[in-house]
Amino acid sequence: MSLTITLLLLAASLTVVAFANWRERRERPLGKAPLVSYPALQMIGIVFAVLLLAHLFSILTGQPLRGRRMP
């Protein structure tokens, strides 16, 4: 994946996180449940953003991120 695509996906995931945060904080009438679970959508966006940040770090440094078990 190129740098441009990574940055675009990172911006999109942060936009989803901001939108979900905004929708969760809005007041809604009593007895009306939302159709979408905005905290779950926000958490998915945050996890995706963290993965994209790790990928961006790999692209910029030129070295892949290694786990603890890899020598």
- How far apart CA 71 and CA 27 sit, in angstroms, is 52
pTM for the whole thing?
0.81
Instruction: Give the count of beta carbons closer than 10 Å to the beta carbon of residue 52.
Output: 21
pLDDT confidence of residue 11: 97
pLDDT-derived band at 69 (thresholds 50, 70, 90) equals: confident
- How far apart CA 43 and CA 37 sit, in angstroms, is 10
Domain boundaries of the chain, sorted by first residue: 1-25
Please say whether the dihedral angle defined by the alpha carbons of residues 48, 49, 52 and 57, taken in this order, is positive or negative. negative
pLDDT confidence of residue 34: 82
